[in-house]
Structure 1
Amino acid sequence: MRRPDMLVEKGEEFFTNGFSIFVNKVYERFDLPEHVHDFFEICYVWEGSGFHYIGDQTIRVSKGDLFFLPIGISHIFRPSSPHPNKRLMIGNCIFDQSLFHFLTSILPDQYQMYRFSDLVSKGDQWLQMRERSGEFGHLFDSLHHEFQRKQTGYETMICGLLLQLFIGMERSLEQKDTPFSPQQDRMDAVLHYMRSHLSEKITLPQLAKEIDIGPRQLQRMIESYSEGSFTSLLAHERISQSCRLLTDPLHRGRSIADIAAAVGIQDPKRFYRLFKERTGVTPAAYRAGK
């Protein structure tokens, strides 16, 4: 859910010369704030792995994942670690609402991409999909190349490539209609419990009991989801929540030690060490940077 104080990115900051598409690729960092935007965005995981926070959900991501985000959805990517060999590169293609409507209605009705039309009508639904053989990466390479070089006719070329991307996404969505996954449901329950009890002591056996599976099975499930241990995932959730508290104006008066305790880390020195390991900066520097 969007907070009233949340950063809003505006298309006017990116669009130039009347062309309402912008394409880039960036290495994500832990010090970037959660935000919403007044434009549509397609995000492609170009390199590495990490987490994507969308609204109240956390999704493990790796190279080949792609997301379609409508206007007003709060989100942020986080790398798994600030370590140089664990960087997370994201490709972004953003465009305004009028261009989106034009591209999705440019074909006759019988060829229209109905799933995208439904998405816009609902207003708050985002999509996730994963490429099968590099098809999204190939299109993002071409989009980025055209946008960087800006040769004659690049605007038309980019619109054509974006339309190809829409069609590829529509095909991916058709292939994605798979049965419900009990493991994903259990993983959602794990994350919900962690976030609801961050200020408390949480153990693997206790959590396994809460979601009614064995501790070893839970450990394997977490490793499959996060490529790390239970301890590592719990630390990640605690530091992520502390980042939110450190930058939330409603908690500006709270001390760093108090925020550490609020996320379940009673020892300020341990919190300081863990925070810097995960974000690359100290808690005080992170707060001051906002």
Structure 2
Amino acid sequence: MNHLPQAWGRPRDDVYGPYDASYLQSGHPQTHTKSPIVTGTSVLAVKFQDGVVIAADNLASYGSLARFTDVKRLRPFNSKCIVGFGGDVSDMQYLDRLLNSLDVVENYSSEGHSLNAKNLHTYLSKVMYKRRSEINPLWNQMLVAGLDGDDKPFLSSIDLLGTTFSSPTLATGFGAHLAQPLLRKVADDESKVAGVTKERAIEAVKECMKVLFYRDARSLDRYSIAIITKEGGVELKEDEQLEGQSWAFAETIRGYGRTQEV
């Protein structure tokens, strides 16, 4: 055998002849990922009168296995915005490196301007649409939360096709089905945002995280939450625990296959 590292497992060319790898050339077109393996679930966000609250749990699932329980899916960009990632974790890491390099360029810029949440949302939408146009999409849906150029609350979504839309409340994954109805009770229209306090927004998001923990099989009771305001900037807490959650009530359930006590 040829013991050179670059040829491990191959017969020696001088003994058995040169290695013929022509059969490996299939001639098929290049293919890309169509089924993400390690994924994160819901991201939730709601506007309030002075800013935005955004949250996501710390779980990354390997299929149906709760494999990684310390994956932070809220990434601050600067003192004005946060990006929340749902979907493929490896693509999230790629986008995180992309944003870090952009942040370095911005910090060394001599123009004296910095990107706000609206600028960042536009940039990410172009990135996602470019990859979609190459038929090699980044399998993520993101929420960009923060302040726009006038220091007003900004919240908008981007998906793997580059589709964008804004709303006073947004959620990705199962949160779009389970949490959005609850968040819309807080602010279902842009005109109602001015009447939502910071405390009310935080309470609503935490309640939705509890609902998702009970109802979404790909969620976790540990989560990250961020509050973005003009005065406080980005306040990010990355290892919060749901309060008052317990599965103890399951012991009192009767029926559904459980043996009835006589």
Q: State the TM bucket, normalised to the shorter chain.
A: under 0.3
TM-score by length of 2: 0.26
Higher helix proportion: 1
Higher strand proportion: 2
Larger Rg: 2
| Higher-RCO chain (CA-CA 8 Å, sequence separation at least 6) | 2
